[in-house]
Structures are given as structure tokens and as C-alpha cells.
Amino acid sequence: MEETLKNLQQTALADIPDAADEAALETLRVSLVGRSGSVSLAGEQMRSVPKEQRPILGKLLNETRTLITEALAKRQAELVALKDAAAAASLDVTLPAAPQPSPGALHPITLLQDRVVQIFRRMGFALADGPDIDDEWHNFDALNTPPDHPARNDTDTYYLPDGRLLRAHTSTVQIRTMLAQLPPVQIIAPGSAYRRDEVDATHLNQFNQVEGLYVAPNVSVADLKGSVEFFLRELLGTETEVRFRPHFFPFTEPSFEVDAKLPGTNKWLELAGCGMVDPAVFEAVNARRGDNAYDPEVYTGWAFGFGLDRLTMVMTGTNDIRLLIENDIRYLAQFRQ
């Protein structure tokens, strides 16, 4: 009996570490410590063992069972580790990432507009707006445009049957803001404007502008230059050259066109119109307000208008303005950021 147990122990402890896989180990386990396995059978044989030998043999049997169980557990752990290692080794880490929704994109006009808005906000400006459908008074009269100015013609501006019109510039917001609030005023107004133009590679009949207005006591041409130069250098790069050319607009006096020369280029780009708010504009606002809140003797100001579409084209290299309204996803996807 003792001999048998010792043989059993020896054989089992030699076989277990050799079990090739979990199935072989399981077979081994069943044959050793299973219900009718060798160790269980040995246990049953204990009953026929002489009484005086039982303590010794019993101890040997327990020892054998413990050693075998431990060996089985150890081998089991080894096999699991091996299997995990194999699984890890077989994982193709070069497979694509688990799918995420691929991001879309904001329209390039929106991106540029937001940069403009953020720069002006840092300069202390708040946003303002007004309706797309406005009237002749806000769009022309209040902005000191003569009654027979060609821009008022049916050929140039869209009208509604009731005589109102689609604003031809966002400068209407200057008027609406001054009617709605007291000075000082420091606003910008991004928005659509409309002109009755044939659409081609360089023209849209509905386009995007940003209007700026600053009204306070003692505002001068020097203030206008400071703000517009700062804005354009923030937008286009600190090395950008900016120049002001005297020009003519009915609602500013003096008026300027602003050109910028982008770093690394040698061409002046016509970017914006601006000027000192014409006293006639303040007077039109006062007349409608019924007060003298914008007394031109006390308040002066500058106004600024800027088109987003052309600049988007320049900055993105877009060669046909119609791409901006076509909304081709392959075009839009190029501006993910």
C-alpha cells in the first residue's frame, strides 16, 4: 500500500507538469483525483489496511492528495498564462481603431467669421444684429445715401412687394443699434447682405459681411487706424502690412479703403471699407430717436465693413466663389479643424 501511494505520487507529479493543454490536464485530474481516480481508490483501500498502519498511511494519502492538487493548480495557472500570452501575441494591433463617428466640419465662412468675432471680442466689442429684410430708411436714408443714388435702383437691390428691401450691406445694424441704445457703442455685426448681381466665379448675390461701429466722445481717425490695423494683424499675421486709401462712402467722412499685404506676398488685397461716421448719420438717428443722444458735437465714431467671402477664398485658396454655396462635402471636409 505504501509502495502504491509512493508510486502514485511520483508518477503523478511527473505527469502533471507535462500536460500539454487544459484538456490533457483535465483528463489527468479526473484519473487522479476524480471520483474514481487513483487517489480516491487508494482512499477506499484504506479501510482494508491494518489499524496500526492507518495513521502513517493516512498521512501519506493526504500528503499525496495535497501535492497532486497543488501540482494540478500550478499547471492549470501555467496553461492559462500560456494561452493568454498566445492570444495577446496573435492580436493584430495594426487593425484600424474601433469606429468612431468621423467628424464633420464647419463651413469655412463660419470658421473665418468666428475668428473675426473672437478678435473683436478681445478688443472689447459685443455682437449686434438686425434683420435681413429691412427698409430703405435703414439701408439708405439714415446712411446719408442720396435719394437718386444708383444703389437704390431695382437693378442693384432686391425689393419686396411692400417696398421693403433685402439689406445691401450690414451697415443697417449701425442704425438699428444706435436707435436701440445710448452711446457709447462698440459693436460688430456679422450677417448676410444681398445685391442683385449675377452669380459667377467671383460674385455672389448673397454674401457675408462683418460690420463694426465704435461711437464715443472724441473718437478720431487715429483710433480708427489703431483698431482696424490691430484687427487685421491679429487676423492675418503680425507681419501684415496695412494701408488706408482715401475713398468715398456716403455714410462716412472721411472714408477709406483698407488694403493689406499678407506676409510673404507682394500684392495689396482690398479688404475693407471704413471711415469716420458722417454727422448726417448721427443726425438721422437723433431725428428718429427724437432726442439728441448722438450729438455730433459730442460723439464721433468710426465704422468698418468687411466681406468674408473673398477673404475666405484668398485664405483657403478657393478659386471659385460658388464653391462656398455648393456645400460639396468633399470641399467642406477639407476644413476640419
The residues in 103-162 that bind other proteins, with binding defined as CB under 8 A, are: 103-107, 109-110, 114, 117, 121, 124-129, 131-133, 148, 150, 153-155, 158-161
Dihedrals phi, psi of 152, to nearest 5 degrees = -75, -10
Q: Measured from the CB atom, is 33 or 216 closer to other proteins? A: 216
Answer yes or no: are the C-beta atoms of 171 and 209 closer than 8 Å.
Answer: no
Judged by CB under 8 A, does residue 186 bind other proteins?
yes
Nearest distance in Å: CB 70, other proteins:
39
What is the CA 54 to chain-centroid distance, rounded? 81
Answer yes or no: are the C-beta atoms of 209 and 307 closer than 8 Å.
Answer: yes
Judged by CB under 8 A, does residue 237 bind other proteins?
no
Which residue in the set 32, 42, 142, 187 belongs to the binding site for other proteins (CB under 8 A)? Answer: 187
Q: Measured from the CB atom, is 300 or 318 closer to other proteins? A: 300
Judged by CB under 8 A, does residue 244 bind other proteins?
yes
CA distance linking residue 226 with residue 19, whole number of Å = 85
Which range in 2-10, 42-50, 67-75, 95-103 contacts other proteins by CB under 8 A? Answer: 95-103
**CB atoms closer than 10 angstroms to residue 139:** 24
Could you say which residues in the range 25-44 bind other proteins, by CB under 8 A? none
Which residue in the set 26, 137, 234, 254 belongs to the binding site for other proteins (CB under 8 A)? Answer: 254
CA distance linking residue 300 with residue 36, whole number of Å = 107
Q: Measured from the CB atom, is 269 or 325 closer to other proteins? A: 325
Could you say which residues in the range 266-325 bind other proteins, by CB under 8 A? 276, 278-279, 300, 324-325
- One-character DSSP codes across 19-62: --SHHHHHHHHHHHHSTTSHHHHHHHHGGGS-GGGHHHHHHHHH
